[in-house]
Each structure stands twice: as C-alpha cells, then as structure tokens.
A = this chain, B = another copy of it.
C-alpha cells in the first residue's frame, strides 16, 4: 500500500484530501488507490440529497451534519455542484458552509464540479465516497442539484435518498414532473415557514398514497433549515431507514446492484478507449466528414467502423 493511502486511512486529513484529488482525476493512479482502499469500504451509510436549486439543500445538509456530530457520528459531505463558467458558484456556496462546519475534524466537505461526461461524474462521486468510507466517515452526504439524470445516477450511489421540495413551486404538475419521487426514501419540505407548505406536504402525501406496494413508506417532513427546525427529526428518520434497510436485507441487494452498475460503466468506458486507440482518431474525423456531407448516417457509420476494426 502506498504511503499516501496509509496516511489517509490513519486519519491524516491532508493525505485524504490529496487522495481524493487523485481519485477524482480518474486515471491509472486513482484506480490503483481505489484498489488499495477498497477492502476498507462498505461501512459508511450514504445519504443522497437532491432537489431544485434554491431549495436550501446545502443548509439542510449542514444542519444534519451538525446534528450527527451531536450524536457522535463522523460526517462526510460530497457536494456535486454544476459550476457555471460565469462565476465560482460552487465555491461561494462552500465558503458559506465552511464557516459553519469548519474546525471539526470529524466533518469533511468536498465539492465536485459537474463538468465532463455524466458517467465520469457519477463514477468520480462514487470513488470519492469510497475514500471517505475507507477513512471511517460514518455518514456521507451526496448533495446534487436538480432532477436530471445525473442526479438519479448519483442518487443510486446512496443508500438513503432525501428529496427536498419547497412550498409554492409545489403545484401538482411541477411535482409530478419532478420524476424523482420514485427514488425518494424521505421527503423534506424545506422553507416550511413559507406560504403553501401544508399544501405541498398534502400534495406529496397524496402522491405517495398511490404507491401501494412499498414496504418503506417515505415520510414527508417539514423543515426550516436556516433555523434548524426539523433537523433532528430528519436525522431520526434517516436512522430509521438505516435500520429498515439492514433488517429487510435490502442493503445487500442495493450494494450488489450498485457494484454491477459501477463495473459496467467502467467496462463501457474502457472498451471504447481501447477500441479508439486501435482504430485511431483519424478514422473518426474521416467518418465525421462523410456524416456532415450526409453520405452516411451515424448508425451505418458506426457499424462500418466496427467492421473495419475487426479486420
């Protein structure tokens, strides 16, 4: 095992930060590091938190982290922030949070920009979670913005998924469209002091009524993250979900499905890279010329490229 991995596993914060950076890059060194830490993983409980931007997710996560600290559990936070090139949005949010959480060695906050490919980010996030897990963080939050596919992918890395909603935006069609209710284990209606909170809660509960055959019925919790209202209750419910997953055996099924998905993603990426190295980038360029001229279509072109590569 490398010294860096050893240092990180023994709790040296700087080594851990360095290790995370390496893992995040996703190259050969990162893969090697993952192989080394992997036997130490599988202990943390991972909590995905998703919902629209502006819903107060970051604050809610910060409050829950502090609550977990009161209960003597260590907390990692991975914030997946789609950064705009216009400004350091992610950094700004982090600085605000850092102030609240800093100084406690048992809380670790890391943010990741959602640049590059979907697969890349989901995998990067999963790998960073592995590092935090191996470094003995007991509860790890993954926080994502929005309701797109990337959020669904990242949420699949989590054991417990919290979907945050806010009052007001909560008319029926909006909620139906969110499409993430199906992955929610817990629903938080944050900013519950705003107008319409009860209606939003009622709407969500009505929708949950329709889901009859679930063993775990997702609770709807009102929170006011800015003042901490509902935070302890949220943590209680997450812990009930932890217990439920273990007692029902679902945690094992989840783990297996997650690992298979992760394996497939890696294989897909690697197969393409190997193939490309074999065929050469020039062939792609030449094919692009023919596509632009509409002398071939993408499927036929792909088929031909694959045929030629086999020769």
Contacts and interface: CB of A to CB of B under 8 A. Distances in A.
A193 to B, nearest CB: 16
B306 A271 contact: yes
7 contacts: A39-B294, A82-B177, A86-B182, A92-B173, A256-B288, A256-B291, A262-B298
Contacts of A83: 179
A169 B153 CA distance: 25
A274 interface: yes
Contacts of A303: 270
A35 interface: yes
A98 interface: no
B53 A87 contact: no
Given A93-B173, A267-B306, A305-B267, A87 B207 contact: yes
Interface string A72-101: 000000000111111101101100000000
Nearest to A31: B299
A121 interface: yes
A84 B182 contact: yes
Given A52-B52, A145-B179, A301 B114 contact: no
A147 B149 contact: no
How many subunits of this chain does the assembly comprise?
Answer: 2
3 cross-chain pairs, A with B, having the tightest CB-CB distances, nearest first: A148-B148, A82-B179, A89-B176
Interface of A: 31, 34-35, 38-39, 41-42, 52-54, 81-87, 89-90, 92-93, 114, 118-119, 121, 145-153, 168-169, 171, 173-174, 176-182, 207-208, 210-211, 252, 255-256, 259-260, 262-264, 266-272, 274-275, 284, 287-288, 291-292, 294, 296-303, 305-306
Contact of A118 (B93, B153, B207): B153
Given A52-B53, A145-B179, A271-B271, A298 B34 contact: yes
Contact of A35 (B119, B153, B259, B297): B297
A84 B298 contact: no
A263 B291 contact: yes
Contact of A252 (B208, B271, B272, B292): B292
A168 B54 CA distance: 10
Contact of A147 (B148, B211, B262, B271): B148
